Amino acid sequence: MSPIPARWDGYGWWITRARVKSTSASTSKWNNSSEKGFAMPVTILIVVLVLLIFLIAIILIRTSAFLRPSEPVAPVELPEVDPDFVANHLAEAIRCETISHLEGTPADLSAFRELRRVLESQYPRVHASLEREIISDATLLYTWRGTNLELPPVLFCAHLDVVPVDPGTLDQWEHPPFAGIIADDYVWGRGTFDVKCQVIGLLEAAELLLKQNFQPERTIFFGFGQDEEIGGEKGAKQIAAHLAERGDRFEAVLDEGGAITQGIIPGIENPVAMIGIAEKGSLSLRIKAVAKPGHSSTPGKTTAIGILANAITRLENHPLPARLDFMRIIYSALGGAVSPTLQAAFANTWLFGRFLKRKLEASPTTNASIRTTTAVTMVAGGIKDNLLPASAEAIANFRLLPGDTVEDLAEYARLVIDDPRVTVVPVPENAWEASPLTSPEGAAFQSLATTIRQVFPGAEAAPYLVLGATDARHYAGLSDQVLRFTPLVSTQDDLSRMHGINERVHVGSLGRMVQFYMLLIDAWAGGELKHNLVELPTEAPGV
């Protein structure tokens, strides 16, 4: 008998007893076996083997049915675009400090007027041929009339505003954030990536198409909001109200959203174009705890801050259940680009669901993709170190998966906290439902995916859930096909700079963005949302 390891000394008597019992039982078992023939009948082994084969067959069949292999796309000749020319236009737009400040600080409308003058100068054909409306002083709506007014129009969106730059980080910027510097093959500055590049890309594409005497059959709108970064109340929301009042309804809407990424999605090495088919809702709850005030020298058993802390702890310790439906949509669409192990796992969540949830919960990004998240973002309580406050409050922000509602979440929080001393009240201005889902089987998604694969060969297109909020949510009532995609090849480093330090965009990516929009406008401008370009033998350059 081997010695008992030191770490088990405290349990030595139990382990020794268990060993003796095990040895005795084992000896008895084999004595009986020798008398009866076999310890385990062959029939049991056969049954186990058959069940195992049956299980493997089910896994393979479900995996095969789960995957949606993409159809081959014929190469097309991409239009000629000078990326340096586009970069100079973007750099000029970056110099207009169209900042959306926090509530209570009005926007500098002169910066938006200057940007308007810049766009007029850069795109003379657009401003001569398209109708332009100015909404809420700074929001722009362009109308490109089609030849067939019976066809429902399409809408392309972006926003003119940018987030502020923290003054304490200015010395960490390689180039001043509003200087519009082009260096090392990048355009540097606030708004280069999010998302003035998209404004410039769309108008550049329209200008070049007009130069070729292109005339759409379907009417095309460009909507550029002024305040997406703070909710879009004066921008996209007003555009949507204006269009709804006129009775306009859209065949498709395309706003900013996912980019083309590589190495970010677990188990997928190929470039993936993430097309947002929905976005999460948002709910902020004001959680207030009350208790008897007094002097800190004679505290009661509980304090308002302690009660609030307990309520917060209960919320954080009881997250909402994880759901794999959106991740299944992504992995199904990517087909053979997914590793075989993950293919089988997502095709058989009835068997591997718990394993997948544990893996996905390990990353904040993937965790947010599978559940309604809870984040306590603000806390207030107490004004002096020797005074017990009568109340303390916190703000908890939930980001809602489609299917969870604002009303349900508020009730869920009350049930979890379960304390009569705590009130839970929604913050009305920070409460909206998750958006409706756009079908990835629809014509708009399929046409968009085709264009992506033609302009970015090697990239796979996949639907996904947008975790934040975009202007697209304001247009949900105007179209059944609302999509979110930004045609930029992006690394994790690129994404980390957005809203951060040293935001930038590659000059070459700007040229490709314009080519993408030219092809997509052409595809969506016809009677059906499909590619109507003549297929040519020339292949586009790779990603």
Q: Is 239 helix (H, G, I), strand (E, B) or coil?
A: helix
Select which of 161, 251, 255, 471 is catalytic: 161
- Using CA atoms, how far apart are residues 270 and 459, in angstroms rounded to an integer? 7
Select which of 194, 207, 227, 228 is catalytic: 228
Reply yes or no on whether 471 is catalytic.
no
Residue bearing tokens 């109507």? 532
Residue bearing tokens 């998209």? 198
- Using CA atoms, how far apart are residues 158 and 497, in angstroms rounded to an integer? 19
- Cα 18 to Cα 30, 31, 290, 398, 512: the distances in Å are 18, 20, 55, 51, 70
Beta-carbon contacts of residue 189 (< 8 Å; ≥ 6 apart): 91, 94, 95, 175, 176, 177, 178, 179, 180, 181, 503, 504
- Using CA atoms, how far apart are residues 331 and 65, in angstroms rounded to an integer? 13
Helix-then-strand count for the chain, H and E: 16, 17
Angle at CA of residue 206, ends 202 and 207, nearest 5° = 115
Q: Is 136 helix (H, G, I), strand (E, B) or coil?
A: coil
- Using CA atoms, how far apart are residues 283 and 374, in angstroms rounded to an integer? 10
- Using CA atoms, how far apart are residues 106 and 115, in angstroms rounded to an integer? 17
| The pairing of beta strand 373-381 with beta strand 391-400 | antiparallel
Q: Is 362 helix (H, G, I), strand (E, B) or coil?
A: coil
Reply yes or no on whether 9 is catalytic.
no
Half-sphere exposure at residue 74, Cβ-oriented, CA atoms within 13 angstroms:
9
Handedness of CA 89, 94, 97, 100 (dihedral sign): positive
Q: Report yes or no: 107 and 227 within 8 Å, Cβ to Cβ.
A: yes
Phi, psi of 61 (to 5 degrees): -65, -45
Alpha helix positions (H), 247-402: 304-317, 325-334, 340-347, 349-361, 364-370
Query: What 8-state DSSP symbol labels residue 147?
Result: S
- Is the bond into 195 cis (omega within 30 degrees of 0)? yes
407: left (phi > 0), else alpha (psi -120 to 50), else beta?
alpha
Residues taking part in catalysis: 161, 228
